[in-house]
Amino acid sequence: MSEFDLIQRYFTRATPSAILGVGDDAALLKVRDGMELAVSTDMLVSGTHFFPDADPLLLGHKTLAVNLSDLAAMGATPRWATLALSLPSVDAVWLEQFSRGFFLLAEQHGVELIGGDTTHGPLNLSVTIMGEVPKGRALRRDGASMDDDIWVSGMLGEAALALAHQQGRIVLPQHIFAACATHLHQPQPRVALGLALRGIANSAIDISDGLLADLGHIFGRSRVGAEIDYIAIPAVGFNEGKGDVVQHCVLAGGDDYELCFTAPATCRGEIEKISVTLALPLTRIGKIVEGNGCTVRAADGGIMQIKEQGYDHFA
Ligand code: ADP
Ligand code: MG
């Protein structure tokens, strides 16, 4: 199969919202009046972000999901994506499944694939996602204000726990492992939440590298500090033990793709309503304070000493 056939067969779909989609040297797009374009790229590398034999259907989903998560964190409506693929070989079954997983999620979110690049090489999947947000209304990392509540969506640590179980660092009961593995392999980007938080949240970020590392980006950009309560953090019912591995997964595990956001206390009622409407737990885990670091309080009120804040490819 030629490169052109491959693109045509697996990655070319109708793109009614683009002026020009796949097939030319560049796609042509028009952003609607009153909107800004939000653009973000996330790359998944075999051996670093996933096992080489990962299920291609789930990988197609995850490749787009991690990108949608970035737009969710900006409060942007996803519109378009490009896909840069480096493939070790042309494997029809793999491509069929990968593209199916990708397009299933794309359709759910109204995203059109408008271009990309395809080369031979080690398995590497890179998406650039584009979305629209009304002028000046994006949720940014630099907007956190003193005394804001700090909130997170969903449950934290599950993806990292699933990975720890797969790597034999922890043994999870089977039913808990199953739930955690779904979060690891099929994260659900919180796009609807990001949209609902426009005009409510002062700042937001998606948790991809671990709660403390990502929350650190909010208070670094906003020039404030944070205080969080460890027991308030929503995590799997496996918490009883709260051993070191669990604690690490919850605070710094990464791959959660939940949103962490800050909002004034006056917005609590509205945020609780959003939680009900979206059937998504939203939990207050702390607040923004003066200073420039993050304090994590244990159940007994003492300050926890944290070794690792999150995942860093080069640390
Ligand atoms: P060029 O050589 O001019 O960069 P290519 O031959 O790489 O063009 O790509 C041809 C067309 O196919 C372009 O419109 C490009 O955006 C699109 N394309 C290439 N790879 C992919 C892919 N994996 N998914 C979607 N579109 C792709
Ligand atoms: Mg090209």
Structure confidence by residue, pLDDT tens digits, 154-175: 999 999 999 999 999 999 999 9
| Ligand number with the minimum distance to the CA of 106 | 1
Question: Which of 110, 194, 193, 209 minimizes the C-alpha distance to 159?
Answer: 209
Name which residue sits closest to atom 24 of ligand 1, judged by CA: 116
Q: What share of the chain is helix, strand, coil (3-state, %, to 5)?
A: 35, 25, 35
Structure confidence by residue, pLDDT tens digits, 29-84: 999 999 999 999 999 999 999 999 999 999 999 999 999 999 999 999 999 999 99
| Ligand number with the minimum distance to the CA of 22 | 1
The three-class DSSP label of residue 129 is strand
* pTM for the predicted model, two decimal places: 0.95
Q: Which of 67, 117, 127, 129 to mutate to test the pocket of ligand 1 (most atoms within 8 A of CB)?
A: 117
Q: What angle do CA 126, 133, 190 make, to 5 degrees?
A: 60
Residue 9, amino acid: R
Name which residue sits closest to atom 22 of ligand 1, judged by CA: 116
Distance between CA 97 and CA 3 in Å, rounded? 18
Distance between CA 103 and CA 209 in Å, rounded? 25
| Ligand number with the minimum distance to the CA of 81 | 1
Percentage with pLDDT > 90 across the chain:
91
Cα 217 to ligand 1 centre (Å): 34
Give all domains of the chain, ordered by start, each with its CATH number.
Answer: 3-134 (3.30.1330.10), 149-297 (3.90.650.10)
Which protein residues are within 6 Å of ligand 1, measured from CB? 7, 11, 22-25, 83, 85, 113, 115-118
Average pLDDT of 82-108? 98
Average pLDDT of 188-195? 98
